[in-house]
């Protein structure tokens, strides 16, 4: 091992986790009841910030994540309005989203965000729910992971 290798934190040397590992863990670890996936999308891709838009309003101060449909069962949340996306929406790769309260106020100042659409990186997403506290802040968009996988982030 060279001197430079010893200066790299262990976390940087670790092989990346793959989505199929979740199924493997669930199948082979009897003490694990369920597994879910969360995909964190960087807020800036190739020097361009991700911007959520509706006609007349936009926000570039968002954090974006993709989730598997079973995350609500694993980590339940209280919603301001709407519902979590369904396994059927997950299977067909529907572009659905849960947005934080701050994003909902920025994009939909009239207070009606559920079942309305917004654009994110050229793709249209339908808001299924708003939440006061997603990931500790209100500046968050969370969508069905299959929809994000089909995007080129």
Tell me whether residue 62 is exposed, middle or buried, using C-beta atoms within 10 angstroms of its C-beta: 0 to 12, 13 to 18, 19 or more. buried
pLDDT tens digits, 74-106: 888 778 888 888 878 888 888 988 888 888 888
Q: 44: helix, coil or strand?
A: strand
User: What whole-number distance in Å separates Cα of residue 153 and Cα of residue 142?
Assistant: 15
pLDDT tens digits, 34-62: 998 888 888 888 888 888 899 998 888 88
**Which pLDDT does position 79 carry in this prediction?**
80
Mean pLDDT over 138-153 rounds to 44
User: How confident is residue 29, by pLDDT bands cut at 50, 70 and 90?
Assistant: very high
The domain spans of the chain are: 3-149
Kindly report the average pLDDT of the chain as a whole number.
78
pTM: 0.71
User: How confident is residue 138, by pLDDT bands cut at 50, 70 and 90?
Assistant: very low
Range list of β-strands (E), 31-95: 38-41, 44-45, 48-49, 52-54, 57-59, 63-67, 81-82
What is the CB neighbour count within 10 angstroms for residue 101?
Answer: 18
User: How confident is residue 147, by pLDDT bands cut at 50, 70 and 90?
Assistant: very low
């Amino acid at each position: 091992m060279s001197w430079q290798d010893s200066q790299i934190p262990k976390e940087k040397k670790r092989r990346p986790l793959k989505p199929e590992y979740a199924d493997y863990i669930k199948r082979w670890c009897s003490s694990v009841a369920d597994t879910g996936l969360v995909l964190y999308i960087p807020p800036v891709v190739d020097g361009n910030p991700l911007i959520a838009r509706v006609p007349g309003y936009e926000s570039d101060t968002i954090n974006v994540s993709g989730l598997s449909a079973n995350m609500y069962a694993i980590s339940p949340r209280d919603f301001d309005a709407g519902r979590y996306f369904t396994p059927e929406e997950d299977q067909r790769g529907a572009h659905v989203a849960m947005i934080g309260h701050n994003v909902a106020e920025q994009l939909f100042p009239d207070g009606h965000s559920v079942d309305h659409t917004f654009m994110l990186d050229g793709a249209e997403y339908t808001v299924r729910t708003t939440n006061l506290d997603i990931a500790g802040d209100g500046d968050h968009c969370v969508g069905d992971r299959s929809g994000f996988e089909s995007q080129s982030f």
